[in-house]
Structure 1
Amino acid sequence: MNARILAGALLKMVFGPSAKRRYRVPLTAHQQWMVSLDAVLAERMWGHSHLMLYPLKRINSTNCRVSLQQSWDITSPESLHSTLHWLASEGHRRQMASVIGHPPVAWDFGRYVTVTRLAFGAGYIDEAGAWQLLANAVAPVAQTYSSWQAFAHDFVTARELWMRNAGNEWSGSHEGTVQAVHRLLDPTNTSSPWQQIPWETIYHSDHMPA
């Protein structure tokens, strides 16, 4: 990214249109639960949003596209769907299962939700398509875990294992992930989506939060 594009992206992160104003329709409880599967990585992203489909507080398609390209080599709807198919059908969980003792579903599907939200922000998929994709994450995750704590534990364990082969560019980043999880699980943190949307929400009938 050249300096001019970078400067523009940074300005949008601070002064861009409000995502909350553009997407005024509130999410249902189930929708908020689905986007909260992305909470660990979202918590680490500057200008992130929780409990919204759009991943940032400010509209910034450039930032979303750059994140997808740099982290996932996603540059089009075609490469997006290829990556999401891999995460949903295989991911890293198969090869990690022999080390951890079970497949860390949270690691693959937490990232699956991250990629889907960023793809919506980048304009690679529309809102209806995003929700259709996110719905694919519900059954694998809800049937594997019984709490945000269990989900987070598997996510962190798998990420630490992945870090061993990730290269020096990720050096030192794991501590930030651990701290993000601690903030999300802190019962006194009223801004945490995990404190606002209980894990059990997904097992009950959908509704509009009060």
Structure 2
Amino acid sequence: MAIWNRRKPKAARKYPVPLTTHQLWMVSLSAPVNRDQDASRTTLYPFTRIDEDKARRWLADQWEITSRDALVGRLDGLARSGYRAGARRRLGVEPLAWDAGLYVDISRRGFAAGMLSEAETWTALKNIVPAVVRSYASWSEYAEHYLLGRMVWRDNLRGTPDADFPAPQAVSDAHLKSLLDPANKASPWNMAPWEAISRPDHVR
């Protein structure tokens, strides 16, 4: 069998309907998390190709999520307090952006793993929007708090077996700089400006 016949189908073929501006904005909350080459930052599906097994492995390995109930419980925890509770005790601020990015990322991977339906995933994303909109006024502010939350998370890993797990801070910094670059036409943050979520939705 030719090697190209073994490749997984493109996600865009299974989910061909373009996202509206509001939908892209919601998906874009996880853009800082998605640095992998096969990540999709402009679709609800988190990968460029359909890969349920990869999504399930990632949820199990990174979050110990192996069931729908575990997924829903983890999302509820991130929405209620997440890592920002510890950051508040330590720094006096609550970097909601870190928890929101993880929340959307896990929701999308839960969808890819078949633990959430498409409709349930959109509902989950909509649930986090009001708190994010109340907390920030721009993607730049969102990015700043995302990095703050990531810093606290990395510090908490020191002295543990997972201390070497995160990508270097410079990698995350460069990724966010690219997302915020006005000249980057591929950045979902440029495709769906921050203020778009507060305006009437429209098809892109």
- TM bin, normalised by shorter chain, reads over 0.9
- Of 131, 152, 176, 2:143 maps to 152
Tell me what 2:200 maps to.
205
Q: What amino acid is aligned across from residue 67 of structure 1 in structure 2?
A: W
| Residue 171 of structure 1: how far off its partner (Å) | 5.4
- Of 179, 182, 188, 1:187 maps to 182
1: CA distance, partners of 2:163 / 2:88: 24
1: CA distance, partners of 2:101 / 2:91: 17
TM-score, normalising length from structure 2? 0.92
Tell me what 1:138 maps to.
129
Q: What amino acid is aligned across from residue 76 of structure 1 in structure 2?
A: S
How many residue pairs match? The answer is: 197
Point out where structure 2 has 5 or more consecutive residues left out of the alignment: none
Q: Give matches, 1:1-210, under 5 Å.
A: 15-42=7-34, 44-166=35-157, 167-170=162-165, 172-209=167-204
TM-score, normalising length from structure 1? 0.89
Deviating 4+ runs (over 4 angstroms): none
Which structure would you say has the larger RCO, counting Cα contacts within 8 Å and 6 or more residues apart?
2
Identity of aligned residues (%): 38
Equivalent residues of 2:154, 2:163 under 8 A apart: no
1: CA distance, partners of 2:93 / 2:36: 29
2: CA distance, partners of 1:155 / 1:101: 15
2: CA distance, partners of 1:29 / 1:186: 19
1:26–1:88 distance in 2 versus 1, CA, 3 Å: same
Equivalent residues of 1:163, 1:170 under 8 A apart: no
2: CA distance, partners of 1:79 / 1:171: 23
Instruction: Indicate the RMSD between aligned Cα atoms, in angstroms.
Output: 1.6
